[in-house]
Amino acid sequence: DAGVTQSPTHLIKTRGQQVTLRCSPISGHKSVSWYQQVLGQGPQFIFQYYEKEERGRGNFPDRFSARQFPNYSSELNVNALLLGDSALYLCASSPGQGASTDTQYFGPGTRLTVL
């Protein structure tokens, strides 16, 4: 079975531009979460979506937005890019809404560089 997939794998943008990152969860998983990992730090929670609705939001500015589609895939959008947005963006999927048995499985990430 395919794991979590993300595209693109690498991306280079300039300050002020906008970017869209994509994620396909494991088949049968309905929950998708997004994390940002800057070099030397652990991943930071950005959003969680379940059944196409936002169920959680981390401490990120409104430049960050996301959505989930009927097939449970998801997009993360970042507007007005700043140098500090350079990071590895990770998508994680899980079967449900957070039962104690739910495990989050991470995709390989999209490495975004902002110049």
Partner 1 sequence: RKEVEQDPGPFNVPEGATVAFNCTYSNSASQSFFWYRQDCRKEPKLLMSVYSSGNEDGRFTAQLNRASQYISLLIRDSKLSDSATYLCVVRMGFQKLVFGTGTRLLVSP
Interface with partner 1 by CB under 8 A: which residues?
A: 31, 33, 35, 40-45, 48, 50, 55-56, 58, 88, 90, 92, 94, 97-98, 100, 102-109
C-beta of 16 vs 96, nearer to partner 1: 96
CB distance 76 to 20 below 8 Å: yes
Q: Which of 32/78 has CB closer to partner 1? A: 32
Shortest CB 43 distance to partner 1, Å: 5
DSSP 89: E
Q: How many helices (H) and strands (E) does the chain have?
A: 0, 11
Share of the chain residues as helix, strand and coil, in percent rounded to the nearest 5: 5, 50, 50
Structure tokens at 111: 């490495």
Alpha-carbon distance 59 to 44, whole Å?
9
Using the minimum distance from each CB to partner 1, give the nearer residue, 17 or 53: 53
Task: Tell me which residue has tokens 């690498």.
Answer: 10
Give whichever of 24 and 94 is closer to partner 1, judged by the CB atom. Answer: 94
